[in-house]
Amino acid sequence: MASLTGWDVETDVLVVGSGAAALTGAIVAATNHARVIVVEKSDMYGGTSATSGGVVWIPATRQAREAGSDDTPEDGFKYIRALTAPDVPDSQIWAFVNNGSKMLEWMEQHTEVKYATTHYCDYHPNLPGGKVAFRSHDVLPIHASVLGKDFLTQRPQHPAAQFFGKMNWTVDETGPLLFRMKGWRKIVARIVLRYYLDLPWRFRSARDRFLTLGSAMAARLKLSLDKSGAELWLKTKFIELVRDEGRVVGAVVEREGRRMRIGASRGVLLAAGGFERNPEMRSKYLPVAPIWTGAQPPNTGDALRAAMAIGAQTARMDSAWWGVSLAIPGEDKTRLMTFERALPGCIVVNQAGKRYFNEAASYHIAGHAMIQNHKTGAGSIPSYILFDSQYRNSYPMGPVLPNLPDFMLPANVRKVLIKGKTWEDVAKQAGLSAAALQKTIDNFNLHAREGKDPEFLRGDDPYDCYYGDPKVKPNPTLRALDKPPFYAFPCYPGDIGTNGGLVTDENAQVLDAAGKPIPGLYAAGNTAASIMGYSYPAAGATLGPGMTFGYLAARHMVGAND
């Protein structure tokens, strides 16, 4: 039991983590006249949010209405309720759908954070309340020059989300580039020239200063944090929570080699990501123990374990944001395959050489399928994504870019990329039954030529076609794999973060084992158990709720009424 005296530093609100949920909470609290300190374990701010697509999923926003959407909070509730776990209370879902749009509007009015709605389709649009557009919002680009030296301490964008692994692009540019639609050459020229003509910066660093996606989100949040007056302490490790008579009153951190006690009179917000980089916790909780993750090395569950140590309740610790991923030797993060699987001319097979799911489904559903179908004699970890030379010359497959000769691919990519003149050659190199694989290919090709997939109905759902090639008829996701040479990549059930964690209420207050709020303690983002349960409703369904509950936590702490 700690006393309220003897603090090394005192503040009103302490925020642990520096991703989207954390910085949103910090900005809201500071703008409402609270003293705020944000502590970040690593030497870079932004967390996994900074490396992500930066998209937020929020129903019934002003931006959506202006685009012609008829969406309502009630539709959003019905959609989430149809997908999420039974133990997620209605009150939490209502808190999100009723306040997500308010959060976005508040950020628009009070900060540098600006978003535009997109035509991105919900992952399950045929369910009650599902929509085919306008719920996923894309952050507006910004130039890093406005950050000054702070750009150097922003966590870089994941290379899988960049053009040629180093140039940033926007959501609106994805379709024209991916499918080489009218004007795509001009887009390429604009991206390349913008990058190489950024002088003299180009002689100093390979990092692109035209920020989009998650890097733009992190930049806009950092600018807003600075203007709010909140402090950000990098290289500050969160150690444990401090309580007084049951209330969380502060925390112990380690900074510059010494431990410090920080008093937080109004509350502590834990928003430091999940535990996906913690081997022991993965082995204990997750169905897939090896670390195939696209998240950041600092995400080792420190905040989660500290809250558990004082009796916080947890839920769905076996859950993560799964996705079919490529593991490239020498890279410290896996590459999530968001669109590759839906493009015509590829399939995924297990170790028996057979297809076992709809490849065009959302990456979360596909990742779940890999885990659930891993069986003796038909292992799916790893599986193999197969594609032919027409695909190879038309679309990107992870780090393999179209029209780039195989010999020019990086050595670490060539190490795991399988190539053969026949499918039998590919099967031998992958350790698959050549006869079984050829039978799978022949069966798939027969139906693909007619635009059909009787086995898994690929292309029947509106979302399946979102990343399909509109030039391919009648089914934009299907084409026979019949143009040699043939290729295969081993792929794994990677994740972009765990999403089980601390149980919270509609104000993001952490609950104890009896279901009662622990006074002074809040959680948001992947530190908290997601309101989406085991599901992933749409692009941005991580960041949208994370920012919303960071907003609600801060307002509850400071008693905001605006």
Domains detected in the chain: 9-49+218-321+496-558 (3.50.50.60), 323-495 (3.90.700.10)
Residue 1: pLDDT over 50 = no
Helix axes 434-448, 423-430, angle to 10 degrees: 130
Q: How confident is the model at residue 4 (pLDDT cuts 50, 70, 90)?
A: low
Three-class secondary structure of residue 409 per DSSP? coil
Summarised one tens digit per residue, pLDDT across range 484-538 is 999 999 999 999 999 999 999 999 999 999 999 999 999 999 999 999 999 999 9
What single-letter amino acid sits at 303? A
Stretch 397-422: mean pLDDT, rounded? Answer: 94
**Rounded distance between C-alpha atoms, residue 187 and residue 421, angstroms:** 34
Residue 80 one-letter amino acid: I
List all residues 6 or more positions away from 280 whose beta carbon is below 8 Å from its beta carbon.
Answer: none
Cβ atoms within 10 Å of 432's Cβ, excluding its own: 24
Instruction: Report how far residue 150's alpha carbon sits from residue 59's, in angstroms, rounded to the nearest whole number.
Output: 33
Does 562 score more than 70 pLDDT?
no
Structure tokens at 221: 């949040």
Which among 375, 378, 392, 387 has a CA at the least distance from the CA of 426?
Answer: 387
Task: Name 523's Cβ contacts closer than 8 Å, sequence gap at least 6.
Answer: 269, 270, 271, 303, 307, 501, 502, 504, 508, 510, 549, 553
DSSP 132: S
**pLDDT for residue 278 is more than 80:** yes
The pLDDT, as a whole number, for residue 176 is: 83
Least confident of 287-296, 324-333, 414-423: 287-296
Tokens encoding 397: 């497959």
**Confidence check: pLDDT of 175 > 90:** no
Mean per-residue pLDDT, 58-83: 97
Question: Does the pLDDT value for residue 159 go beyond 90?
Answer: no
Q: Which residues pair with 492 in a beta bridge?
A: 325
Give the pLDDT mean for 277-303: 91
pLDDT score for 83 = 97
Q: What percent of the chain has pLDDT over 70?
A: 99
The pLDDT of residue 40 is above 90: yes
Q: Which residue has the tokens 């292992």?
A: 379
Instruction: Kindly report, residue by residue over 253-264, the tens digit of the pLDDT.
Output: 999 899 999 999
β-pairing, 383-388 with 346-349?
antiparallel
Q: Give the DSSP letter of residue 464.
A: G
The pLDDT of residue 5 is 61
**What is the share, in percent, of the chain residues with pLDDT greater than 90?**
90
Contact at 8 Å (CB) between 52 and 158?
Answer: yes
In angstroms, the CA 262 to CA 11 distance is 7
CA distance 285 to 219: 34
Q: What is the structure's pLDDT at 172?
A: 81
| DSSP summary character for residue 291 | -
Provide the token pair at 248: 């969380």
* Furthest CA-CA distance within the chain: 76
What average pLDDT score do residues 23-30 get? 98
| 385 pLDDT more than 50 | yes
Residues across the chain: 562
pLDDT single digits (tens) 95-143:
999 999 999 999 999 999 999 999 999 999 999 999 999 999 999 999 9
Confidence of residue 183 (pLDDT cuts 50, 70, 90): confident
Quickly count: other Cβ atoms within 10 Å of residue 21's Cβ: 34
Read off the tokens for 269.
Answer: 């917000």
| Mean pLDDT value across the chain | 95
Between CA 201 and CA 165 the distance in angstroms is 18
Q: Considering the entire predicted model, what is its pTM?
A: 0.94
Q: Which of 56, 63, 210, 45 is nearest to 141 (CA)?
A: 210
What is the pLDDT at residue 343? 96
The better pLDDT of the pair 311, 184 is held by: 311
